[in-house]
């Protein structure tokens, strides 16, 4: 099922998307082979409900050992950049497309992402974000079901009407922090500088959004 399409429809009953049932479902999930090699499933962290929800691709080694998303080197850079640009990490809900680490940090396969997507849809319906941040190209392509490039799409707002709120959901793709670790120059026009500006835009959007479902 397409992620955005399923957010427009009544895809799941309310009793299927409680925090406890979803946590149990994810930590006990064996719907794809990644369950065989995980140390910990990484469901996600953050307040529920929450205005900003951030979605990456999948857990790495550190995330797998701690059961928390974005806690390795690139996660630390992301947290620092969020803080530097006015967003506290603890104020956003952070998760990934797949909840279990692909062995050797390989990319998650198409079937693994498909197997895990109902967890993600339920999480979005549970967290009810008004802003969705898609971190990295695979996350953007999977959630939006498109073939756009991250270079062209990052920093651009897209809007989709979803069933859990009156205003459209605002969606922004961002460069992945692992890419920013490789290209670390803060010079104007470089990826890191662009991402700092994108986070400031997200903060601005969060501050101006007054939603009745929080
Ligand atoms: Fe289940 Fe997702 Fe983990 Fe696969 S990656 S076992 S679908 S929770």
Q: Which residues line ligand 1 (CB under 6 A)?
A: 26, 29-32, 34-35, 41, 98-100, 112, 115-116, 119
Q: For all residues of the chain together, what is the average pLDDT?
A: 94
Mutate to test the pocket of ligand 1, among 40, 115, 118 (most ligand atoms within 8 A of CB): 115
Question: Peptide bond before 20: cis, by omega within 30 degrees of 0?
Answer: no
Residue 129 CA to ligand 1 centre (angstroms): 23
Strand ranges in 25-108 using DSSP code E only, listed in sequence order: 52-56, 92-96
Residue 58 CA to ligand 1 centre (angstroms): 10
- In the prediction, which pLDDT does 13 show? 77
Structure tokens at 177: 């922090």
Q: Using CA positions, which residue lies closest to atom 7 of ligand 1?
A: 116
Sign for the pseudo-dihedral over CA of 194, 208, 138, 89: positive
Q: Which ligand 1 atom sits closest to the C-alpha of 108?
A: 5
Q: Is the pLDDT of residue 210 over 70?
A: no
Alpha helices in the chain, H assignment, sequence order? 3-8, 19-27, 61-66, 73-84, 110-127, 137-144, 150-153, 177-182, 191-208
pLDDT tens per residue across span 19-74 = 999 999 999 999 999 999 999 999 999 999 999 999 999 999 999 999 999 999 99
pLDDT band, very low/low/confident/very high, at 2 (cuts 50, 70, 90):
confident
Q: Is the pLDDT of residue 10 over 90?
A: no
Structure tokens at 82: 């969020």
- In the prediction, which pLDDT does 117 show? 96
Structure tokens at 4: 């955005």
pLDDT band, very low/low/confident/very high, at 11 (cuts 50, 70, 90):
confident
Q: Is the pLDDT of residue 1 over 90?
A: no
Strand partners, 158: 171
Q: For residue 99, which of 111, 108, 87, 90 has the smallest C-alpha distance?
A: 108
Q: Is the pLDDT of residue 211 over 90?
A: no
pLDDT tens per residue across span 103-152 = 998 999 999 999 999 999 999 999 999 999 999 999 999 999 888 899 99
Mutate to test the pocket of ligand 1, among 22, 31, 39 (most ligand atoms within 8 A of CB): 31
- In the prediction, which pLDDT does 180 show? 97
Confidence (pTM): 0.95
3-state secondary structure of 109: coil
């Amino acid at each position: 099922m397409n992620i955005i399409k399923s957010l427009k429809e009544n895809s799941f009953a309310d009793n299927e998307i409680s925090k406890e049932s979803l946590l149990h479902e994810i930590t006990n999930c064996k719907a794809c082979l990644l369950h065989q090699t995980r140390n910990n499933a990484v469901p996600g962290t953050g307040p529920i409900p929450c205005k900003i929800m951030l979605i990456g691709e999948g857990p790495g080694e550190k995330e797998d050992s701690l059961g928390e998303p974005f806690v390795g080197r690139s996660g630390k850079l992301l947290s620092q950049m969020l803080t530097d640009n006015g967003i506290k990490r603890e104020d956003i809900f952070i998760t990934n497309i797949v909840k279990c680490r692909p062995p050797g940090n390989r990319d998650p396969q198409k079937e693994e992402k498909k197997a895990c997507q109902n967890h993600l849809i339920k999480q979005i319906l549970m967290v009810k974000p008004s802003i969705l941040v898609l971190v990295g190209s695979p996350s953007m392509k999977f959630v939006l079901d498109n073939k756009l490039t991250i270079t062209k799409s990052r920093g651009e707002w897209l809007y989709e009407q979803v069933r859990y709120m009156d205003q459209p959901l605002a969606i922004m793709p961002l460069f992945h922090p692992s890419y920013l670790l490789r290209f670390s120059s803060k010079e104007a026009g470089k990826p890191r500088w662009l991402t700092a500006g994108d986070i400031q835009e997200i903060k601005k959007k969060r501050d101006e959004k007054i939603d009745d479902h929080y």
